[in-house]
Structure 1
Amino acid sequence: MKLSMIRWTRCTAIGALALFLLGVIFWGGFNTAMEATNTLPFCISCHEMRDNVYQEYRGSVHEANASGVRATCPDCHVPRDWLPKVVRKIQASRELYHWVVGTIDTREKFLARRPVLAGHVWDAMKRTDSRECRNCHDFHSMQLADQARFAADRHDRALNAGGTCIDCHKGISHELPPLPPVLSEDRYDPEYAEEIMETCAGCHGDKGQGTPDGEYPRLAGLDAHYIVRQLENFKNRKRINIPMIPYANERELPGEDVQ
């Protein structure tokens, strides 16, 4: 009887130890595999990402900047906390399906789907209060006095109004998808609009990306009505900005051009 009890105890202990070791091996393998998918090389291992959004990311402020801090794909698109990370990985299985069936396997297909894809990302970031942005950025840690006046004003307003990063920073590392024109076609002159944009691009960048130091703010992704309101404020001197004075007047920027 005692011998049987000893054997049972030993078998139980060995079984428990084996299960524990198997659990450690499984967890280690699972975690290693999950982290392997959280790297830039993995994210751009398919040509859809490598040939499209990655090319836009290169040279952006998230890839290279004065501080030398780099944010890559997983930093911006994968949560750090374990449970949200697992949920995101499960959601990614849909992306594998679309990769297999070739939903965006050409440049033309990608561009056609881009507004929808971008909308999904923006909506997700809005729901989580720009969670991945806040891995590095925090309103309460910002020294607004050290920021450019425009940036400080926008951050202060966003903080007080409950805004979130993605409200203003759409397209910060990738090109914005084509948006419908603000004006109806009978009032929209593409050639003249391009001429106006060339003037703006002289300071704000050819894609409205602004300058890294914030001296010339980013225009890409801002609400069209907000831009109109600010241009009108420049014209009537409700908002003073020295570089804008030569441009924000009725001769250089008549009302119809603002609209």
Structure 2
Amino acid sequence: MPNRVIAKVRRMVSRKRAIVVLFVGFAMGIVGLSLFGTSMIYTGTEAFCATNCHEMADNNTLEYRDTIHDKNRTGVRAICSDCHVPHSPVPLYIAKMGALNDLWSHHVTHAVDTKDKFNAARPMMATRVWTYMKGNDSRECRFCHNEAKMDPTKQTPVAQARHARAKKEKMTCIDCHYGIAHTVPEGPGPQEIEVDKSFIPRSAIF
């Protein structure tokens, strides 16, 4: 009899332990997912991108101010993440991992921590971003600018002609619409860049 009681107690304890372990694991999963989701959202905010490090605050953020993406007649703004971060889940996660490399190679190593260093690296950084955007057919541009919803009759004759040419020659948005929010560096522009789509940079941050 005592052995049966002891065995029964052990089974009850084992079940309770299993329930506790499952509950703790579930709670930790919820907390982990919440922290992950919060970090994804926070690191895509204008406050984080534009002011969190002096490399951005002293260079790109100042250039962006009062541009058409910052201030316009409609009040509809495009912030850093709208142009530089994918909006669909899988590409977003890949870009965020790529951004960790940017954090190391640019911020931690002080590669662009002064105006002179930043301007010296500008052609390389711009080329990397243009290559990324050409490789995905200007995906982030198209998230806001839906070509199917454009009304050509409301475009100038010059814009109509250029868009027709771009479509015919299979050009993408960034081939023509660059330097909108940032200073254009010396050297070739997006149209002169040959893109090998087998290797596209993981992010368009720097």
Q: TM-score range by the shorter chain?
A: 0.7 to 0.9
Q: What is the aligned partner in structure 2 of residue 96 from structure 1?
A: 103
Residue 119 of structure 1: how far off its partner (Å): 0.2
Aligned residues: 184
Residue 153 of structure 1: how far off its partner (Å): 2.1
- Structure 1 residues 46-89: Cα deviation after superposition (integer angstroms, max 9, x where no partner): 22211111111111110011221100111110111222112111
Distance in 1 separating the partners of 2:85 and 2:135: 14
Q: Which has the higher contact order (CA 8 A, sep 6+)?
A: 2
- Structure 1 residues 95-144: Cα deviation after superposition (integer angstroms, max 9, x where no partner): 22221221111111111111011000000011111111111012111111
Identify which of 78, 81, 91 aligns with 1:84. Answer: 91
Q: Is the 1:139–1:159 contact (alpha carbons within 8 Å) kept by the matching residues of 2?
A: no
Counting aligned pairs with the same residue, the percent is 41
Identify which of 69, 72, 82 aligns with 1:75. Answer: 82
Matches within 5 A, 1:127-138: 127-138=135-146
Q: Is the 1:114–1:177 contact (alpha carbons within 8 Å) kept by the matching residues of 2?
A: yes
Unaligned runs of 5+ in 2: 1-6, 193-206
Identify which of 47, 55, 62 aligns with 2:54. Answer: 47
SS in 1 for 2:87: coil
Q: Is the 2:174–2:190 contact (alpha carbons within 8 Å) kept by the matching residues of 1?
A: no
Task: Report the TM-score when normalising by structure 2.
Answer: 0.81
Matches within 5 A, 1:139-218: 139-179=147-187
Distance in 1 separating the partners of 2:19 and 2:42: 34
Q: Is the 1:77–1:132 contact (alpha carbons within 8 Å) kept by the matching residues of 2?
A: yes
Residue 222 of structure 1: how far off its partner (Å): 8.5
Q: Is the 2:131–2:190 contact (alpha carbons within 8 Å) kept by the matching residues of 1?
A: no
Q: Is the 2:63–2:183 contact (alpha carbons within 8 Å) kept by the matching residues of 1?
A: yes
Distance in 1 separating the partners of 2:163 and 2:190: 14
Q: Is residue 32 of structure 1 aligned with residue 38 of structure 2?
A: yes
Bigger CA drift: 54-63 or 82-91?
A: 82-91
Structure 1 residues 223, 17: closer, same or farther in 2, change over 3 A? closer
Q: What is the aligned partner in structure 1 of residue 63 from structure 2?
A: 56
Structure 1 residues 106, 17: closer, same or farther in 2, change over 3 A? same
Q: What is the aligned partner in structure 2 of residue 126 from structure 1?
A: 134
- Structure 1 residues 142-189: Cα deviation after superposition (integer angstroms, max 9, x where no partner): 111111111122223323443211111111111100237xxxxxxxxx
Q: What is the aligned partner in structure 1 of residue 122 from structure 2?
A: 114
What amino acid is aligned across from residue 18 of structure 1 in structure 2? V
Task: Report the TM-score when normalising by structure 1.
Answer: 0.65
Structure with greater proportional helix content: 2
Residue 32 of structure 1: how far off its partner (Å): 0.8
Distance in 1 separating the partners of 2:20 and 2:41: 31
Q: What is the aligned partner in structure 1 of residue 197 from structure 2?
A: none
